[in-house]
Amino acid sequence: MNTVRTTDEESAGAPKVAVVTGAGSGIGRAVAVELLTAGWSVALAGRRPEPLAETAAAAPAGGGTPLTVRADVSRPEDVAALFGAVRDRFGRLDLLFNNAGTFGPGGVPVEELPYEAWRHVVDTNLNGAFLCAQAAFRQMKEQDPRGGRIINNGSISAHTPRPHSVAYTATKHALTGLTKSLSLDGRPYGIAVGQIDIGNAATEMTAGMQTGALQANGETAPEPVMDVADVARTVRHMAELPLEANVQFATVMATAMPYVGRG
């Protein structure tokens, strides 16, 4: 009979195993390097092999073991191959960081947004997160010791939108529902599910914010950003809690960004 891994078993056993999607850049790269540095074995998933190799090379020697896997999370067959590769290489799965995502075309009013662009954002941000969570659930439920953790990358936009961001905002709101439902359904199997909502981490995706971002009043104004390493450390903290404890929702943001009172 499968049992849930206890704190003592976690500390005494082999290195823990994580899957990080969107690991080729930005938050995904920072989190993957943080986990590798801490000794985790990490499957680095993304659509382009070259950035994944760069992420693996960015981790210091003597840390955990990286495994690069080319995968488009919107494709069920790629997701199945990703988690199969993790099972074959490491034998179990302790963490999924559901990070892969896209903002889509920026600054496009809702009435002008092409359906193809809407569908691309939904397929990546929501369908991809579901497919990866489903695959992780299956493995965590059946492995011995049973259990694991899923952390979904939400966003400040899971709470409050930016102007002209309907596709991104809709998917990030949906991720909150996905997180809650997975958290409830995972309880009998020792699967803890939480969400980190991130605001203005300094990555390629947010590079333009420091020069000017459209505000709700129609003005364009620069916004402060924070070091992406602070996000990575927060994810690691969430990941390394014993399965008896869970950070259900965490918000990590640049202190002075326009969020509280946005609009």
Residues marked active site are found at 168
Backbone angles phi and psi of 249, in degrees to 5 = -140, 135
Q: List, in sequence order, every residue forming a beta bridge with 249; answer none if it has no partner.
A: 195
Listing DSSP states for the chain in one string gives ---BPPHHHHHHSSPPEEEEETTTSHHHHHHHHHHHHTT-EEEEEES-HHHHHHHHHHSPTTS--EEEEE--TTSHHHHHHHHHHHHHHHS---EEEE------STT--GGG--HHHHHHHIIIIIIHHHHHHHHHHHHHHHSSSB-EEEEEE--GGGTSPPTT-HHHHHHHHHHHHHHHHHHHHHGGGTEEEEEEEEE-BSSGGGGGGGT-EE-TTS-EE----B-HHHHHHHHHHHHTS-TT----EEEEE-TTSS-TT--
Q: Which two tokens stand for residue 15?
A: 């290195």
